[in-house]
């Protein structure tokens, strides 16, 4: 029998198929998860605290390749009920092709973080309702993993079980996000990620566009030319005075290029080293690379973008998407702050540069809840865009809890307030503690409203580490257990909330497809 064929896509004429599927149904497997493999079948069911993997094989046959657990006899065969651990996740990916993370390529795409490891069925429902956007269901940054006590393996495995439970057979991406080191890359490789996002911002000096000349000169003098396989003379001669874009010429003044090199020279060295490590370890064409400089404190100018793309290409780096720091404020978990017309102009020029220098996608980081700008992003990028969200799914979990368990929400809020000053240091937020509700005095209604106010929403967004993996032992497990007990409600809330993110991109993709069909 062919492995990985959904039960609903095959007839019941083959001997044993009805027994295999019937046995899993009898054992409580979710209908959407039922999949025929290796002469038997696999699926998942919901247990008290999480998923349970089920595999059935005829008497005398081995359990489908590598699924480990507790065996019992059922309907003339052996049913194995296993834990949702890495071994069983890897075994499922070996058996079922659509559970293996895939490449995304040029398609419109969106990443959805899952700090609790429970969100995938809700994410899948949102993508189903908004076709034309390819999901990256496994996405977490190295920073988030440290704060939650998880690993890239945990993230990919949770997406594996969730995708099987939801019966998602269209494939999904897995992004090891905001990587700072070769060690981070190796951990992503080990987990089975196919997308790797390099984030070299620690090597970018604080040199905004209006930095004094003496600061730029000092940084330019410190450029590691040997590591760049370059020298100042060759660099100066390499660039024309302008780049012709669809919208007109982009001037490339020598002073601007010199400032860009001063800002990003060391970062280019780091990104190239990370890419070359990936290329040495993985087969060509088996991974995708993203370059992200969105978390610097100043805007990525068009000249900066041209410099980064030109130098990385020169060093042999190939990427699928690039995340600049756009104008305005992309704070965590709230809508865009700034002049939308200015942002749209910025998007237009960066997208034009991307089309001119490699036709790669723009990646919009801190993309959660930026509802006022999604249509502009889709329009400016012409659907060559990747949207990244992460903490908003965690906030939906808190909103689900706040409505059902005010005392748990009170405990979470208390920890968040204590942790905010430390937690905010590595995030772009402006929330202030002054005047926020006291956890002890807040009513249930006030606690539920914390997610509706941008100030308190940001505080909750960035303090997830203290809640999930902090000093209040048991709080993280308590939150996960409470969400699992209300998982159907949580997934419905996620479908609605993530769907708001995806809808403008789905609609734009549909319009593009319709336009292409009429040509």
Q: Token digits for 104?
A: 């995304």
For residue 231, the cross-strand partners are none
Residue among 38, 157, 184, 290 flagged as catalytic: 290
**C-alpha–C-alpha distance, residues 451 and 466, integer Å:** 18
Catalytic residue status for 177: yes
Catalytic residue status for 36: no
- Under DSSP, is residue 508 helix (H, G, I), strand (E, B) or coil? helix
CA distances from 131 to 107, 172, 466, 507 (A): 12, 13, 36, 9
- Sequence-distant (6+) residues with CB within 8 A of 244 are 250, 356
- Which 8-state DSSP code applies to residue 58? E
The length of the chain, given as a count of residues: 519
Task: Show contacts of 403-407: CB within 8 Å, 24+ apart.
Answer: 403/448, 404/482, 404/486, 404/489, 405/482, 406/443, 406/444, 406/447, 406/448
Contact 463/420 with Cβ under 8 angstroms? yes
Contact 362/346 with Cβ under 8 angstroms? no
C-alpha closest to that of 156 among 105, 196, 125 = 196
Q: Token digits for 224?
A: 């590691």
Pairing verdict, β 51-58 and 77-82: antiparallel
Main-chain phi, psi angles of 398, to 5 degrees: -65, -40
Residue among 19, 144, 177, 288 flagged as catalytic: 177
Residues labelled catalytic:
177, 290
């Amino acid at each position: 029998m062919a492995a990985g064929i959904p039960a609903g896509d095959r007839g019941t004429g083959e001997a044993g198929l009805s027994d295999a599927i019937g046995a899993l149904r009898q054992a409580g497997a979710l209908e959407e998860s039922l999949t025929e493999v290796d002469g038997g079948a696999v699926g998942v069911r919901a247990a008290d605290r999480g998923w349970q993997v089920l595999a059935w094989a005829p008497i005398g046959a081995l359990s489908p390749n590598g699924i480990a657990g507790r065996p019992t006899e059922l309907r003339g065969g052996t049913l194995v009920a296993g834990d949702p651990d890495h071994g069983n996740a890897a075994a499922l990916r070996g058996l079922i092709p659509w559970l293996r993370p895939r490449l995304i390529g040029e398609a419109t795409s969106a990443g959805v973080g899952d700090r609790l490891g429970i969100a995938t069925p809700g994410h899948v429902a949102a993508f189903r309702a908004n076709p034309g956007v390819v999901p990256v269901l496994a996405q977490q940054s190295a920073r988030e993993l440290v704060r939650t006590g998880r690993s890239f393996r945990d993230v990919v495995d949770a997406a594996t079980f969730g995708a099987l439970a939801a019966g998602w057979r269209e494939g999904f991406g897995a992004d090891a996000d905001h990587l700072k080191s070769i060690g981070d890359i190796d951990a992503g490789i080990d987990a089975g990620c196919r997308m790797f996002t390099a984030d070299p911002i620690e090597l970018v000096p604080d040199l905004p566009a209006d930095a004094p000349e003496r600061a730029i000169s000092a940084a330019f003098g410190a450029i590691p030319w040997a590591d760049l396989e370059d020298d100042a003379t060759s660099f100066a001669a390499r660039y024309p005075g302008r780049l012709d874009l669809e919208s007109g010429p982009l001037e490339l003044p020598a002073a601007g290029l010199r400032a860009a090199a001063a800002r990003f020279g060391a970062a280019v060295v780091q990104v190239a080293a990370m890419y070359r490590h990936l290329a040495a370890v993985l087969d060509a064409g088996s991974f995708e690379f993203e370059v992200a400089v969105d978390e610097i404190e100043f805007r990525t100018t068009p000249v900066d973008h041209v410099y980064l793309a030109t130098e990385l290409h020169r060093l042999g780096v190939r990427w699928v998407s690039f995340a600049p720091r756009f104008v305005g404020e992309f704070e965590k978990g709230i809508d865009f702050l700034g002049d939308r017309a200015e942002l749209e102009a910025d998007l237009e020029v960066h997208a034009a540069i991307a089309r001119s220098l490699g036709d790669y996608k723009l990646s919009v980081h801190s993309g959660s809840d930026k509802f006022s700008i999604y249509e502009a992003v889709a329009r400016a990028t012409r659907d060559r865009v990747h949207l990244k969200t992460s903490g908003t799914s965690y906030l939906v979990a808190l909103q689900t809890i706040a409505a059902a368990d005010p005392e748990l929400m009170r405990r979470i809020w208390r920890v968040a307030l204590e942790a905010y000053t430390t937690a905010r240091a590595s995030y772009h937020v402006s929330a202030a503690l002054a005047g926020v509700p006291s956890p002890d005095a807040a009513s249930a209604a006030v606690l539920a409203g914390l997610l509706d106010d941008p100030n308190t929403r940001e505080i909750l967004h960035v303090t997830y580490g203290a809640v999930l993996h902090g000093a209040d032992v048991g709080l993280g497990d308590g939150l996960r257990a409470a969400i699992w007990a209300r998982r159907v409600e949580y997934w419905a809330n996620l479908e609605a909330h993530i769907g708001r993110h995806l809808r403008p991109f789905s609609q734009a993709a549909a319009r593009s497809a319709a336009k292409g069909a009429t040509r």
